[in-house]
C-alpha cells in the first residue's frame, strides 16, 4: 500500500499542474497514469497549441508535455506511478490501481481526478467493423506508436479534433477523402486549420452524414448523404467514398466513473460534454475530499485544464493545512475568468452556471 496526502489520477495538463501545485505547497503527491508516460492528450498533438502563452500556447503539444513532465519529475514531493489504471475507489479514501500484471492499494487524504475524456461514437450501419476508429485512437496509434492504421481515411466531424487529425494524416502520408459534418457550417475548428487542409485538397462536405461502411471483413468503402433541416438523410444524395478507415471526431465526454463509485453527485450538462461531477470554483465536488480538474469536469481545452489543475492542487494542499494558498487560488481564479471572457468560452460558462444551479436539485 502507498499512503499519500494527495492522489492525482491522470497525468495530462490538469493532473500535472495539480500535482505540481500541491507538491510545491509541501504536500506529498502520488500521480498515477495508465499510460507509460505523462502528458495525456498533449503527447499526440504535433501542432502549436492555441490558448494562453503563459500556459504553453504556441508550443507544440508534445513539447509542452515534455516541459511539464520534467517539472513534475524534478519535484521531490511527487511520486509517479505509470502504467497503472485506477480501477477502484472506496469511500474510506482507499483506491485500487491495476497494471497488466499486478495491483497497488493507495490510501489518500485528498483525491484530484484529472482523467480527461472519452470519445463519442455515432450510429450507422456496420459501425463496429474494423476500420471504424475514434480520431483520438488514430492519433494514439500514429503519433505515439508510429503506426499508420490505414491509408485512405474519411473523417466524420469538422471540429478542431477532426480537422487537426486530417492534417496529421496527410503529414503521415495517408490520404483523406473528405471531412464530413452533419452541421451546415464548420463544427468548431479554427478557420486557419480548416483552410489549410482544404488548400491541401481535402474537401469539407458540410450538411452531410455517414450512413454506413461496407467491406468483406474490414472497411472498404463508406456511404455519406446530405441531410435535411431535421438532420435526416436526403434520398438520392448518397456519395460513395473508397476508403479503408473512418475516423470519428464527433465529440468527447468527461470520464466520470470514479465519481460515480465514490457517490459524488453528477449532473448532466450538455454544454460541458455530458455527465460531470458537480464542483465549485476550486474543483471541489460534493465530497469535500474529492476534486476534479480538466476535461473530466467539462470538455474545454489545455489552458483551462492547466489553470483548473493548479487551483485544485492548491486548494487540496490548503485543506490539508500546508502553506496558506488562498491568494494564489484567487490569482488563478482571476486568470481563469479573464481567459474565459473570450466568446469561445460562452457555451462553457453557460454549462458551469447550469451545473452550479443543480446542487440542490
Ligand atoms: C486533436 C486535439 C487537438 C487539441 N488541440 C488543442 C489546442 O490546440 N489547444 C488546447 O488548449 N487544447 C487542445 N486540445 C484539448 C486538450 O488537449 C485537452 O483539453 C486537455 O488535454 C485536457 O487535459 P486533461 O488533463 O483534463 O486530460 P488529458 O490530457 O486527456 O489527460 C488525462 C489523463 O488521464 C489518464 N487517465 C484516465 N483515466 C485514468 C485512470 N482511471 N487511471 C489512470 N490514468 C487515467 C489518461 O491516460 C490521460 O493521460 C486538443 C485535443 C485534441 C483531441
Q: pLDDT of 105-148, one tens digit each?
A: 999 999 999 999 999 999 999 999 999 999 999 999 999 999 99
- Ligand 1 centroid–CA 15 distance in Å is 10
Mean pLDDT for all residues in the chain: 95
What mean pLDDT do residues 211-239 have? 97
Q: What percent of the chain has pLDDT over 70?
A: 99
- Burial call 16-34: b when 16+ CB within 10 Å, e when fewer: bbbbbbbbbbebbbbbbbb
Span from the CA of 43 to the centroid of ligand 1 (angstroms): 9
Q: Is 229 exposed, middle or buried (0-12, 13-18, 19+ CB in 10 A)?
A: exposed
Question: If you measure from the C-alpha of residue 153 to the centroid of ligand 1, how many angstroms do you get, rounded to a whole number?
Answer: 23
pLDDT at 91: 86
Instruction: Give yes or no for residue 295 CB within 6 A of ligand 1.
Output: yes
Residues in the chain: 361
Please compute the mean of the pLDDT values over residues 254-280 and round it to a whole number.
Answer: 96
Ligand 1 in reach of 301 Cβ (< 6 A): yes
Flag whether pLDDT at 361 surpasses 70.
Answer: no
Residue 2 CA to ligand 1 center (angstroms) comes to 26
Mean pLDDT of 30-48: 93
- pLDDT tens-digit map of 172-195: 999 999 999 999 988 778 888 899
Per residue in 73-92, pLDDT (tens digit) is: 999 999 999 999 999 999 89
User: Is the minimum distance from the CB of 136 to ligand 1 under 6 angstroms?
Assistant: yes
Using pLDDT thresholds of 50, 70 and 90, give the confidence band for residue 351: very high
Closest CA to 304 of 251, 345, 346: 345
- Give the position of cell 497549441: 49
The pTM score is: 0.94
| Four-residue CA torsion sign, 310, 313, 319, 321 | negative
For the chain, the distance separating the N- and C-terminal CA atoms, rounded to the nearest angstrom, is 38
Residue ID of nearest Cα to ligand 1 atom 3: 161
Ligand 1 atom having least distance to the Cα of 252 = 53
> Residues 77, 27: contact at Cβ < 8 Å?
yes
* Residue in 10, 30, 142 to alter for ligand 1 test, most ligand atoms within 8 A of Cβ: 10
Query: Ligand 1 mean position to 12 CA, how many Å?
Result: 5
pLDDT band at 2 (very low <50, low <70, confident <90, very high): very high
pLDDT above 90: residue 241: yes
- Is the pLDDT at 337 greater than 70? The verdict is yes
Task: Enter the C-alpha cell of residue 268.
Answer: 448532466
Amino acid at each position: 500500500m502507498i499512503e499519500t496526502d494527495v492522489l492525482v489520477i491522470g497525468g495530462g495538463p490538469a493532473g500535472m499542474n495539480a500535482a505540481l501545485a500541491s507538491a510545491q505547497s509541501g504536500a506529498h503527491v502520488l500521480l498515477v497514469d495508465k499510460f507509460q508516460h505523462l502528458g495525456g492528450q498533449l503527447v499526440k498533438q504535433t501542432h502549436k497549441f492555441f490558448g494562453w502563452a503563459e500556459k504553453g500556447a504556441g508550443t507544440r503539444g508534445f513539447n509542452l508535455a515534455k516541459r511539464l513532465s520534467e517539472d513534475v519529475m524534478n519535484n521531490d514531493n511527487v511520486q509517479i506511478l505509470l502504467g497503472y489504471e485506477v480501477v477502484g475507489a472506496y469511500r474510506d479514501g482507499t483506491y485500487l490501481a491495476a497494471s497488466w500484471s499486478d495491483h497497488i492499494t493507495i490510501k489518500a487524504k485528498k483525491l484530484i481526478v484529472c482523467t480527461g475524456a472519452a470519445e463519442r461514437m455515432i450510429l450507422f450501419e456496420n459501425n463496429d467493423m474494423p476500420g471504424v476508429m475514434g480520431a483520438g485512437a488514430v492519433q494514439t496509434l500514429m503519433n505515439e506508436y508510429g503506426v499508420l492504421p490505414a491509408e485512405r481515411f474519411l473523417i466524420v466531424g469538422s471540429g478542431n479534433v477532426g480537422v487537426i487529425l486530417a492534417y496529421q494524416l496527410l503529414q503521415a502520408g495517408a490520404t483523406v477523402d473528405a471531412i464530413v459534418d452533419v452541421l451546415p457550417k464548420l463544427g468548431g475548428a479554427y478557420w486557419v486549420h480548416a483552410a489549410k487542409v482544404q488548400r491541401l485538397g481535402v474537401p469539407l462536405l458540410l450538411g452531410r452524414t455517414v450512413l454506413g461502411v461496407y467491406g468483406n471483413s474490414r472497411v472498404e468503402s463508406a456511404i455519406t448523404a446530405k441531410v435535411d433541416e431535421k438532420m435526416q438523410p436526403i434520398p438520392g444524395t448518397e456519395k460513395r467514398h473508397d476508403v479503408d478507415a473512418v475516423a470519428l471526431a464527433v465529440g468527447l465526454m468527461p470520464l466520470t466513473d470514479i465519481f460515480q463509485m465514490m457517490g459524488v453527485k453528477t449532473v448532466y450538462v450538455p454544454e460541458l460534454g455530458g455527465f460531470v461531477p458537480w464542483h465549485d470554483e476550486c474543483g471541489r465536488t460534493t465530497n469535500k475530499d474529492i476534486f476534479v480538474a480538466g476535461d473530466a469536469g467539462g470538455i474545454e481545452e489545455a489552458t483551462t485544464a492547466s489553470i483548473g489543475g493548479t487551483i485544485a492542487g492548491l486548494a487540496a494542499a490548503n485543506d490539508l493545512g500546508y502553506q496558506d494558498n488562498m491568494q494564489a487560488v484567487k490569482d488563478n481564479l482571476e486568470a481563469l475568468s479573464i481567459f474565459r471572457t473570450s466568446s469561445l468560452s460562452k457555451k462553457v460558462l453557460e454549462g458551469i452556471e447550469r451545473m452550479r444551479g443543480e446542487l440542490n436539485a
